[in-house]
Structure 1
């Protein structure tokens, strides 16, 4: 009882402690643009030393599905973690928010069931034109870029990556397709490959435990490239599923597309794993 009284007296007499000050935690900036009649956020995350290393320029990672409530924060964290290990080059991240993913990221489908389920699908060509004619010039003008642009996406966005690599390859310098939805439109995209893919930019492709037409489409793509293309195929059917493929494979994709070639990665279990490849897989 006496101890409680003294504690109360001390609390009354002790000077009030000022609340610690807080400051905003700012990780990037947002540009609002309109594409396909939809306003969307373009979220730009700059390297930590962007504002101090004023004589330096960076590559750009264009990340599809890059809204705040999409993959932006995951991608930002994985890219930062890669940087801690020098697993891939640090880069400017441009997160491109999607609104209607099937409309923006996929080609028209010949499958009646897909048309019924996704009636707005099939405007990927228009979305790609907006990327190349509006977004890329804006980023190049506004930020210190070094001329290397990488396009990365997962699932439907992975399909968009493969389509862009096939049909408009000069738009980007490297492509990362993580668990691409190659089943779309009866595997139409994979069936279009005729094996003449020499000279196209590097392509990272991964496959989780997708099964069915998705797996068939990815493997058709790989067979067409095998032996005559700069690519890395990461076959993760035994340890990843569609839901966690982006988490597990984006670090590898960036390592392949923006390599640093440091010597210690394999020692720490961070070697690039290309089960099939058009180049050496010991990065």
Structure 2
């Protein structure tokens, strides 16, 4: 009897079985080939996508958007923005890069750059792949509202500016965070954007200095007052390594405004040291 009582007490004190963990799904992925390499196109759907079957959404295309690249940070900051009403909710499409200089930069006449990055120079082909494969794939499968935005940092920022200059109609708005405008002796900053108003362009500069800074200043000088753009000057506050996670929320705020009137009260002031449009 005593043994049975002790055994029953021990069983009563035993910890309950741990619940079985379940997969945590944040999105979907498609594997596609471009520029000689397979890569992932990752899709993170917005809050309420499944619950609102008749609603359509803008799409933000994030370059360097692989799972081991900027996808998690980008999707998290977009979700954080949405919670605060800082920017409108959107479908996030992360485009994985494999050889960034090859895929994101045009050819260079700089001998040192060619030696250091011998594969660089196929940004035009990568852009054609995004236009001809990635965008149709997303538009056929997901409920988009017809507006798409392109976001990138560093070399991807150069790709954003180059796309804005050479194929402005591909996206409804662009954000280039600390773009590598030093590339090819600042050649991109010397390409005048041409006549006519182009989609809104968000630009930022951190502590890069040198040719990156002079390239940015030259680019800004080419923008007519009628062109909608926002230049966020963070040379005294941010470093190149902190620019993307520091400024992606502001870039989304500029491209996808919500119109709420309390953002300044929460410190979400859109800083445009220079702006147009």
After TM superposition, the score normalised by the length of structure 2 is 0.95
Residue 218 of structure 2 aligns to a residue whose secondary structure is helix
CA distance in 2, matches of 1:245, 1:142: 32
Give yes or no for the alignment of 1:258 onto 2:256.
yes
Residue 11 of structure 1 and its aligned partner are, at CA, apart by 3.4
Contact 1:153–1:176 under 8 Å retained in 2: yes
Asked if 1 retains the 8 angstrom alpha-carbon contact of 2:182 and 2:211, the reply is yes
Are the equivalent residues in 1 in contact too, given 2:182–2:212 (CA < 8 A)?
yes
How far did 1:22 drift? Answer: 2.4
CA contact (8 A) 2:40 2:96 kept: yes
Runs of 4+ in 1 over 2 A off after TM superposition: 6-16
Task: Tell me which residue corresponds to 1:138.
Answer: 137
CA contact (8 A) 1:86 1:260 kept: yes
Residue-by-residue CA offset, 1:225-269 (whole Å, 9 max, x unaligned)? 152310000000010000000011000100001111110001111
SS at 2:23's partner residue? coil
Give the 3-state SS of the residue equivalent to 2:174 in structure 1. Answer: strand
TM-score (norm 1): 0.93
CA deviation string 1:15-57 (max 9, x = no partner): 5512123221110011000001210000100012111100101
- Structure-1 separation of matches of 2:144 and 2:261: 26
Shift of 1:198: 3.6
Take 2:12 and 2:266, find their aligned partners in 1: how far apart are those partners? 56
The answer to whether the 8 Å contact 1:230/1:277 transfers is yes
- Which residue of 2 is the match for residue 99 of structure 1? 98
Q: Is 1:26 matched up with 2:25?
A: yes
| 1:3 match | none
Cα 1:216–1:57, aligned 2, differ >3 Å: closer, same or farther? same
Q: Which deviates further from its counterpart, 11-20 or 136-145?
A: 11-20
The SS at the match of 2:129 is helix
| Mapped partners of 1:278, 1:137: distance in 2 | 31
Mapping of 1:1-283 within 5 angstroms? 10-12=9-11, 14=13, 17-193=16-192, 196=194, 198-279=196-277
Paired residues of 2:47 and 2:89 also in contact (CA < 8 A)? no
Distance in 2 separating the partners of 1:203 and 1:133? 23
Q: How many residues get paired?
A: 273
C-alpha spacing 1:12/1:156, structure 2 compared with 1 (3 Å): same
Cα-to-partner distance string for 1:144-202 (whole Å, 9 max, x where unaligned): 000000000000000000000000000000000000000000000001126x4541000
Q: Which consecutive unaligned segments of at least 5 residues does structure 1 have?
A: 1-5
Counterpart secondary structure, 1:253: helix
Distance in 1 of aligned mates of 2:10 and 2:54: 55
Within 2, Cα distance between the matches of 1:228 and 1:57? 30
Q: Displacement, 1:9?
A: 8.3
- Aligned to 2:261, the other structure's residue is in SS state coil
Aligned residue for 1:23, secondary structure, equals: coil
- Could you list the per-position Cα deviations for residues 82-141 of structure 1 after superposition, in whole angstroms to 9, with x for gaps in the alignment? 001111110000000000000000010000000000000000000000000111011000
Give distance in 2, aligned partners of 1:16 and 1:168.
Answer: 63
Q: Which structure 2 segments of 5+ residues have no match? A: none
